[in-house]
Amino acid sequence: MKRIGYIDALRGLTMILVVFSHLYIPNHSVINLLFINFRMPLFFFISGLISMRVEQTWDGGELRRRLGSKARTLLLPILFFGLLYTAVQGQSLEDFLINKHKLGYWFTLVLFEMLAIYYVVRYGIARRGWRLSRALVFLLVGVTAVSFLWSERWMSGALPSLLSLSCLLRYLPFFAFGLLAGYHRERFDALIDRTDVYVGAVVLFGALSWANIRWDGGIDVILCLAVGIAGIVMMYGTFRRLAGYFEDNTLVGRCMQYVGRHTLEVYVLHYFLLIGFGASLYPYVATSAFPLSPVVVGLPLATAIAIASLGLGWLLCRNRYIAYYALGKR
């Protein structure tokens, strides 16, 4: 799919919001709880959207090439930086491996697993001669049904924790939704451009987010999926309506696009820049009488840390071996 400015900018925003949520833990500010409802669903949706290429041909060689390429660009970085971060933090190897969140480095592992599932499905479609659109619908319905059935009790073993399967099942429906939207891109964009759909998504997101905050995150899987999809439609629709601000000819557009195209550097490096940071920041935001202090303080800091992570990534990429094997560069 051709790179589109507002989509890259939207992806950049989600990564800045990830950094924002990690500034101080626990980050229980109301604004962060709102961000949580759409942040990761939106990121995986965009990943599915930009991964869909209808014109690609698939055979055994293509499948192996793509799996090998994604293993290098997604798995090697989390092993390199995840294990380094584990050592710096004085944690054990087991704390990193046999933990579903991998000390924060679960994201790229789960994204690799999603892409691997998609590649195998595309390969099977090509071999069997199935219709791609119908197979994508079955994939979306299937993974959504599985996400309803999974239980933390089933995910407590060593292997599910090693593979972060609970995180995979939680976010896989949004990735599949992105694939389907990418296949029907023109019709999907036309639907999002409708005022009634956009306003309805905003209202639904607000109502479900209020319920989630009121019930302290206790809403069930169906409502979690609903608020995630509403958040996706809301944010995607907002950025489409503001697309002119995120093109190459604007400073904001160029900066946000750059972050969106280099999310891996921000993701794997920002943890190192936050070591000891939260302990000094949390008392301030937790005791401040100003209710918006987490936003006023946090978002500029998150943006600055994302920029610093990109700068550090640029320096590391001066070494071609680190660039190729640790940061997934070509």
Residue 171 has pLDDT above 80, yes or no: yes
**Residue 76 CB coordination number (10 Å):** 16
Task: For 273-320, write each residue's pLDDT tens digit.
Answer: 998 777 677 677 666 667 677 788 888 989 999 999 999 999 999 999
- What integer pLDDT is reported at residue 148 of this predicted model? 67
What distance in Å separates the CA atoms of residue 1 and residue 207, rounded to the nearest whole number?
34
Query: Which of 6, 41, 40 is closest to 22 using CA atoms?
Result: 40
Neighbour-count burial of 300, counting CB atoms closer than 10 A to its CB (0-12 exposed, 13-18 middle, 19+ buried): exposed
pLDDT digits (tens, 9 = 90+) for 88-102: 999 999 889 988 899
pTM: 0.92
CB burial string 173-203: b at 16+ within 10 A, e below:
bbbbbbbbbbbeeeebeeebeeeeebeebbe
Q: Is residue 102 a contact partner of residue 78, using CB atoms and an 8 Å limit?
A: yes
In 3D, which of 171, 204, 192 has the Cα closest to residue 43?
171
Residue 218 has pLDDT above 70, yes or no: no
pLDDT confidence bin for 71, thresholds 50/70/90: very high
d(CA 199, CA 262): 31
Phi-psi region of 82 (alpha: psi -120 to 50; beta: other; left: phi over 0): alpha
